């Protein structure tokens, strides 16, 4: 079973690009970026726009306005058309300058970064994968040219590192790879090294490179301690940056960390900090609320998660536009877990609203998933009935959880789900020797059971193989999940497992 997650776009965090090579301490452009890093994109945008108005052809201030404008779009998408025109105009001016003089290093630098900015914008806003691929390839070419001329410039490695890393891991994640055939190849290891160089040797790029590395270490590299340490430094340096806090909260909530109290504290800090009525503050507050609800879902406190979403849905707002449809779709998924027969109504509310057309594709998929799940009434009912036991596991009340599952196992049609939950209990407490045969029994059985259960058991079994040093066996299981159960929630972690071995819970080390 795939449980949808609807995270707020963090493209503004991933694409905060500038040109420190052409800015000195005290430079107003640098001051604008510092304002942006500090969590005030509205004020940063005003500063950049004022500088741009003084000299409309000046690239650093103009690009700063684009970056701050992109951050603003996450809260208010009404400026999309103006942003796209300005970005296209910027690229035209930079290209004209570079065409006149191949010695124009500033124009070359900005051609690399602006093309990557447009590529990421097109991908995140579903503006066309082909155009995004062309932009990214151009960005790589310009970045390589610039680095050949200025290899000493640490910040210049950021765009090239982004390209090489993400194109390098794309075959593991992308279902449609034909686009990659028309792009220069990437290299994951090289890209990571370039991003690490930007994080060490960069100046204005350093906060961005560190934030991005924290996400990569935690999401794909299996380096959770490094991810947390880097994200904590960044959050301490820029305590007003809500996205940095939310990223740190997500790391704390990782299943190998389970620092739930610390995660909740970060989300609440964002909610309490975002006191103004600006659209940016509203967006940050609701993103943190959504994150806190997701945290309660991880802890199997589903009713608490729904309660966190309820006030926003009781008093819906028009802007930021993502809030209401995202909250509705998330609540639909939570209600599905509780076997609520009306769970799909939230998804259909999104489908019935023309103003939410951007979310209709996701809503249709969610409605189909929920309907199919609830049609398997016995499986859905058993799943919901085991949630109190799952909550006991999350609270590490092992004996109480085992007693609960053993009582539930006497019910008809509960056998396989109970066996899986008992195996997860043993896995969670670090008793891999006991968990492994139970997982093997599920995986090898020819009995009829839900696909999500088989996929989840395969995932946990693959993790035990990695922990035992049997990497080849683990990879075989990860591939089996991706090949046979790509529609299940285990597929995402399985792809990560293909990139890096599972190392086990750091909380118990």
Q: Which two tokens stand for residue 260?
A: 């739930």
CB environment 206-241: b (16+ within 10 A), e (fewer): bbbbbbbbbbbbbbbbbbbeebbebbbebbeebebb
Q: Say what the pLDDT of residue 508 is.
A: 47
Output the 3-class SS for 1-60: CCCCCCCCCCHHHHCCCCCHHHCCCCCHHHHHHHHHHCCCHHHHHHHHHHHHHHCCCCHH
Tens of pLDDT along 197-248?
A: 999 998 777 888 889 999 999 999 999 999 999 999 999 999 999 999 999 9
* Percent of the chain residues past pLDDT 90, beyond the cut: 72
Residue 318 has pLDDT above 90, yes or no: no
d(CA 470, CA 466): 5
Note whether 163 and 116 are within 8 A (CB).
yes
Which residue, 449, 402, 362, is CA-closest to 1? Answer: 449
Residue 123 has pLDDT above 90, yes or no: no
CB contact set of 54 (below 8 Å; sequence gap of 6+)? 61
Higher local confidence (pLDDT), 396 or 319: 396
d(CA 279, CA 284): 9
Most confident of 8-12, 45-49, 174-178, 502-506: 45-49
Q: Say what the pLDDT of residue 221 is.
A: 95
Which residue, 496, 337, 358, 505, is CA-closest to 435? Answer: 505
175 pLDDT band (50/70/90 cuts)? low
**Domain at 14-220: CATH architecture:** Alpha Horseshoe (1.25)
CB environment 258-282: b (16+ within 10 A), e (fewer): bbbebbbebbebbbebbeeebbbbb
* Average pLDDT of the residues in 169-180: 69
Note whether 158 and 198 are within 8 A (CB).
yes
279 pLDDT band (50/70/90 cuts)? confident
93 pLDDT band (50/70/90 cuts)? very high
Higher local confidence (pLDDT), 4 or 209: 209
* Average pLDDT of the residues in 83-106: 96
Tens of pLDDT along 420-478?
A: 999 999 999 999 999 999 999 999 999 989 999 999 999 999 999 999 999 999 999 99
Residues in the chain: 509
Tens of pLDDT along 65-82?
A: 999 999 888 888 888 999
d(CA 496, CA 234): 25
CB environment 1-33: b (16+ within 10 A), e (fewer): bbbbebebebbbbbbbbbbbbbbeeebebbbbb
For the ranges 21-35, 294-308, 389-403, 485-499, which has the lowest average pLDDT?
21-35
- The CA-CA-CA angle for residues 486, 489, 493, to 5°, reads 90
Distances (CA, A) of 212 to 217, 347, 357, 366: 9, 32, 31, 30
d(CA 139, CA 163): 8
Candidates 1.10.3470, 2.40.50, 3.30.300, 1.25.40; CATH matching 415-508: 1.25.40
* Average pLDDT of the residues in 74-101: 94
Specify whether the backbone of 156 is left (phi greater than 0), alpha (psi in -120 to 50) or beta.
Answer: alpha
Which residue, 254, 353, 351, is CA-closest to 298? Answer: 254
Instruction: Provide the CB-side half-sphere exposure for 376 (13 A, CA).
Output: 19
Q: Say what the pLDDT of residue 276 is.
A: 65
Q: Which two tokens stand for residue 66?
A: 């684009």
DSSP code of 101? -
Are both 14-220 and 415-508 of the same fold? Answer: yes
Residue 4 has pLDDT above 90, yes or no: no
26 pLDDT band (50/70/90 cuts)? low
Q: Say what the pLDDT of residue 1 is.
A: 53
Q: Say what the pLDDT of residue 507 is.
A: 65
CB burial class (10 A; 0-12, 13-18, 19+) of residue 86? middle
d(CA 480, CA 284): 39
Q: Say what the pLDDT of residue 275 is.
A: 63
Domain spans of the chain, in order of start: 14-220, 415-508
CB contact set of 458 (below 8 Å; sequence gap of 6+)? 443, 477, 480, 481, 485, 490, 494
d(CA 483, CA 491): 9
Q: Say what the pLDDT of residue 180 is.
A: 59
Which residue, 270, 222, 221, 220, is CA-closest to 249? Answer: 270
Residue 413 has pLDDT above 90, yes or no: no
DSSP code of 355? G
Q: Say what the pLDDT of residue 208 is.
A: 83
Q: Say what the pLDDT of residue 397 is.
A: 97
For the ranges 154-158, 161-165, 230-234, which has the lowest average pLDDT?
154-158
Higher local confidence (pLDDT), 158 or 10: 158
Instruction: Provide the CB-side half-sphere exposure for 441 (13 A, CA).
Output: 13
Q: Is the torsion defined by CA of 498, 499, 501, 505 positive or negative?
A: negative
Residue with the two structure tokens 């209600």 = 335
Residue 8 has pLDDT above 60, yes or no: no
CB atoms within 10 A of CB 146: 25
CB atoms within 10 A of CB 81: 9
Residue 19 has pLDDT above 80, yes or no: no
Note whether 156 and 147 are within 8 A (CB).
yes
d(CA 209, CA 215): 10
Q: Say what the pLDDT of residue 296 is.
A: 98
194 pLDDT band (50/70/90 cuts)? very high
Q: Which two tokens stand for residue 95?
A: 């290209």
Q: Is the pTM of this model over 0.75?
A: yes
23 pLDDT band (50/70/90 cuts)? very low
Average pLDDT, the chain: 89
Q: Is the torsion defined by CA of 426, 427, 432, 434 positive or negative?
A: positive
For the ranges 53-57, 144-148, 277-281, 294-298, which has the lowest average pLDDT?
277-281
Residue 492 has pLDDT above 70, yes or no: yes
Which residue, 406, 392, 343, is CA-closest to 372? Answer: 343
**Which ranges of 101-178 would DSSP assign to H, the alpha helix?**
105-124, 129-149, 157-173
């Amino acid at each position: 079973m795939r449980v949808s997650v609807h995270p707020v776009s963090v493209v503004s965090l991933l694409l905060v690009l500038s040109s420190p090579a052409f800015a000195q301490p005290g430079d107003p452009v640098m001051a604008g970026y510092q304002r942006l890093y500090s969590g005030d994109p509205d004020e940063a945008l005003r500063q950049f726009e004022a500088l741009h108005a003084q000299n409309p052809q000046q690239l650093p201030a103009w690009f700063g306005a684009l970056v701050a404008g992109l951050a603003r779009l996450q809260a208010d998408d009404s400026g999309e058309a103006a942003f796209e025109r300005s970005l296209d105009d910027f690229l035209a001016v930079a290209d004209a300058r570079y065409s006149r003089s191949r010695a124009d290093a500033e124009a070359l630098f900005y051609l690399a970064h602006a093309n990557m900015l447009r590529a990421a914008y097109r991908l995140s806003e579903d503006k066309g994968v082909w155009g995004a691929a062309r932009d990214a390839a151009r960005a790589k070419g310009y970045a390589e040219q610039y680095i050949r001329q200025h290899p000493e410039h640490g910040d210049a490695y950021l765009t090239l590192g982004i390209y090489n890393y993400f194109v390098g891991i794309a075959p593991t994640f992308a279902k449609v790879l034909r686009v990659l055939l028309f792009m220069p190849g990437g290299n994951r290891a090289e890209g990571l090294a370039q991003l690490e160089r930007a994080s060490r040797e960069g100046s204005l790029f350093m906060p961005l490179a560190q934030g991005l590395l924290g996400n990569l270490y935690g999401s794909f590299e299996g380096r959770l301690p490094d991810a947390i340490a880097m994200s904590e430094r960044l959050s301490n340096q820029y305590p007003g940056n809500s996205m940095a806090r939310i990223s740190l909260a997500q790391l704390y909530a990782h299943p190998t960390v389970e620092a739930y109290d610390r995660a909740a504290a970060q989300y609440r800090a964002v909610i309490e900090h975002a006191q103004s009525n600006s659209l940016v503050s509203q967006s940050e507050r609701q993103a943190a609320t959504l994150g806190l609800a997701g945290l309660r879902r991880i802890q199997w406190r589903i009713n608490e998660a729904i309660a966190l979403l309820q006030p926003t849905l009781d008093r819906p707002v028009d802007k930021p536009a993502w809030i209401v449809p995202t909250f509705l779709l998330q609540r639909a998924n939570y209600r599905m877990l509780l076997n609520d027969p009306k769970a799909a109504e939230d998804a259909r509310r999104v489908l019935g609203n023309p103003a939410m057309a951007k979310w209709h594709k996701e809503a249709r998929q969610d409605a189909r998933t929920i309907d199919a799940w609830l049609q398997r009434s016995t499986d859905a009912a058993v799943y919901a009935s085991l949630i109190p036991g799952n909550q006991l596991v999350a609270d590490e009340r092992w004996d109480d959880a085992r007693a609960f599952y053993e009582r539930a196992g006497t019910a008809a049609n509960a056998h396989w789900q109970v066996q899986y939950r008992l195996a997860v209990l043993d896995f969670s407490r670090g008793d891999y020797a006991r968990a492994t045969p139970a997982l093997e029994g599920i995986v090898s059985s020819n009995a009829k059971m839900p696909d999500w259960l088989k996929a989840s058991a395969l995932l946990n079994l693959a993790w035990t193989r990695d922990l035992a040093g049997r990497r080849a066996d683990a990879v075989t299981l990860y591939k089996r999940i991706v090949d046979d159960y790509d529609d299940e929630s285990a597929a995402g972690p399985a792809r990560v497992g293909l990139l890096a071995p599972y190392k086990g819970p750091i909380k118990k080390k």
